[in-house]
Amino acid sequence: MMRTASRLEHIEPFYVMECAKAADAIARSPECDAARGGEPMIYLNIGEPDFTATPAVQRAAVQCLDAGATQYTPATGLPALRSRIAAWYGTRFGVTVAPERIVVTAGASAALQLACLALFETGDEVLMPDPSYPCNRHFVAAAGALALLLPAGAAARFQLDAASVARAWGPRTRGVLLASPSNPTGTSIAPREMAAIVHEVRRRGGVTLVDEIYLGLSYDEAFGHSALGIAGAGDDVISINSFSKYFGMTGWRLGWMVLPPALVAPVEKLAQNLYICASTLAQRAALACFEPESLEEYERRREEFRRRRDYLVPALQALGLDVPVVPDGAFYAWFDCSRYSASSWDFCFEMMRRAHVALTPGRDFGPALAERFVRLSFASGLPQLEQAVARLGRELGPMQER
Ligand SMILES: Cc1ncc(COP(=O)(O)O)c(C=O)c1O
């Protein structure tokens, strides 16, 4: 047997994939086969927008290929793209960000990996909320550090607050890794609380990493603000972002991070060695994300996601599937299934088999709420959501409430 590195022991399997495989197997069965009068599976387990790149972005990609303009770019990204991203912070979030602080990466994933490798080492601890996106704690683990999950309930919007950070901070704590809005909950940290966290972490000489991949998809003015707008955030706040969600470019593998000026050169050195650069094709195409035509389309889509949220959350509540905190961003509703089942895993498999609706059980997102909570992704059109709700109602109605 080939010996593998011990760091793999700290990386858990992605259970969601098992559910997705089971959903696909059921989807191929006669009960789901539309040609045989079946009821096709509705996939509400997918963390990916149902929208794709805009026409302007697609045209830019074709032009790039036709011109053969596909050589390596600088490791930090095309200067023109860094400038456009920087300008977008000004127009969309009212925050001034110097283009030199932006490093373009292969998705938020590569940005998170680079940031973790640049900052954390063996023996370090990083505080994160439970529930949170599983890969984020694995980036910390892959850097040799320990992700310390702090249970975060509905009262704290399923997020860390300054008090919980202060309580958990120990001699080995190096910082916090937050996601706002969050996957799986769609809930954000209120700007005032985020400022309190940043100040608490700063006071202790740590670093605040904020995954803002869903910030573009924010539905509530009270929450849709970048942590980069907090006073002094140039020095110790790292913001991670991506073209995947708001810009609908998941498979293009393109993201970025905004770094404190002193971290740009160390991260550049790492990026040169690990990746050379992010995809040139994706970068040249992404320049067109900031054309007025594309931006209008993204805003239209944001409205569409908001409409879905506004339909879905009350509909789930009416089924007895409580959504304790209304999502203010992203495309996830995090609901409590404990009225019907003691295990969210069993609940999801049951709904997959009986209602032909695929959902994501809480297990991947941390142990605290794993058995009670389910993530539903509303990255599907309203008619499909309505159909899914009708089917869930059909199955849950006769089901014994516990
Ligand atoms: C919170 C969060 N961070 C990061 C990522 C990774 O995104 P990317 O496609 O930009 O690598 C995801 C993807 O689902 C996510 O939900």
C-alpha 344 – ligand 1 centre gap (Å) = 23
Q: Is residue 325 part of a domain?
A: yes
Q: Is residue 134 part of a domain?
A: yes
Residues 152 and 226 both lie in one domain = yes
pLDDT: is 34 or 74 the higher one?
74
Q: Is the pLDDT of residue 397 over 90?
A: no
Q: Is the pLDDT of residue 66 over 80?
A: yes
Average pLDDT for residues 148-152, to the nearest whole number?
Answer: 97
SS3 111: helix
Question: Which element (helix H / strand E) includes 307?
Answer: helix 292-318
Q: Is residue 250 part of a domain?
A: yes
402 pLDDT tier (thresholds 50, 70, 90) = low
Q: Which of 31-40, 79-88, 230-239 has the lowest mean pLDDT?
A: 31-40
Residues 17 and 133 both lie in one domain = no
Q: Is residue 35 part of a domain?
A: yes
Query: Does residue 360's CB lie within 6 angstroms of at least one atom of ligand 1?
Result: no
Residue pair 386/311 in contact (Cβ under 8 Å)? The answer is: yes
Instruction: Give, for ligand 1, the residue of 114, 136, 183 to mutate: max count of ligand atoms closer than 8 Å to Cβ.
Output: 183
pLDDT tens-place string over residues 44-59: 998 888 899 999 999 9
pLDDT at residue 400, as a whole number:
63
Residues 59 and 42 both lie in one domain = no
Residues 309 and 224 both lie in one domain = no
Instruction: Give, for ligand 1, the residue of 242, 289, 334, 365 to mutate: max count of ligand atoms closer than 8 Å to Cβ.
Output: 242
Residues 282 and 339 both lie in one domain = no
**Rounded to an integer, what distance in angstroms lies between the CA atom of residue 93 and that of residue 225?**
6
Q: Is residue 383 part of a domain?
A: yes
198, 200, 201, 205: CA torsion to nearest 10: 130
Residues 243 and 320 both lie in one domain = no
pLDDT at residue 209, as a whole number:
98
Which CATH number belongs to the domain containing residue 339 in this structure? 3.90.1150.10
Reading the block at residue 15, the tokens are 């259970």
pLDDT tens-place string over residues 337-368: 999 999 999 999 999 999 999 999 999 899 99
pLDDT at residue 50, as a whole number:
87
pLDDT at residue 235, as a whole number:
80
Which CATH number belongs to the domain containing residue 131 in this structure? 3.40.640.10
Domain boundaries, position 381: 6-52+294-396
Residues 241 and 185 both lie in one domain = yes
Q: Is residue 329 part of a domain?
A: yes
Q: Is the pLDDT of residue 84 over 90?
A: yes
Residues 308 and 244 both lie in one domain = no
C-alpha 211 – ligand 1 centre gap (Å) = 8
pLDDT at residue 157, as a whole number:
97
> Which of 267, 291, 315 is the endpoint of a domain?
291
Q: What is the DSSP string of 282-297?
A: HHHHHGGGGSHHHHHH
Residues 106 and 253 both lie in one domain = yes
Query: Does residue 377's CB lie within 6 angstroms of at least one atom of ligand 1?
Result: no
Q: What percent of the chain has pLDDT over 90?
A: 86
Average pLDDT for residues 68-93, to the nearest whole number?
Answer: 97
> Which of 236, 267, 291 is the endpoint of a domain?
291
Q: Is the pLDDT of residue 79 over 90?
A: yes
**Rounded to an integer, what distance in angstroms lies between the CA atom of residue 392 and that of residue 3?**
46
> Which of 237, 257, 291 is the endpoint of a domain?
291
Report how many domains make up the chain.
2
Which atom belonging to ligand 1 lies closest to the Cα atom of 214?
1
Which atom belonging to ligand 1 lies closest to the Cα atom of 109?
11
pLDDT at residue 18, as a whole number:
82
Instruction: Give, for ligand 1, the residue of 133, 139, 238, 254 to mutate: max count of ligand atoms closer than 8 Å to Cβ.
Output: 133
Residue pair 206/176 in contact (Cβ under 8 Å)? The answer is: yes
Residues 238 and 277 both lie in one domain = yes
pLDDT at residue 232, as a whole number:
81
Exposure string for 281-293, b = 16+ CB within 10 A, e = fewer: bbbbbbbbbbbee
Residues 335 and 315 both lie in one domain = yes
Q: Is residue 402 part of a domain?
A: no
**Rounded to an integer, what distance in angstroms lies between the CA atom of residue 85 and that of residue 80?**
9
pLDDT tens-place string over residues 235-290: 889 999 999 999 999 999 999 999 999 999 999 999 999 999 999 999 999 999 99
Q: What percent of the chain has pLDDT over 70?
A: 99
Give the mean pLDDT of the chain.
95
SS3 322: strand
Residues 95 and 208 both lie in one domain = yes
Q: Is residue 1 part of a domain?
A: no
Residue pair 139/173 in contact (Cβ under 8 Å)? The answer is: no
Q: Is the pLDDT of residue 68 over 80?
A: yes
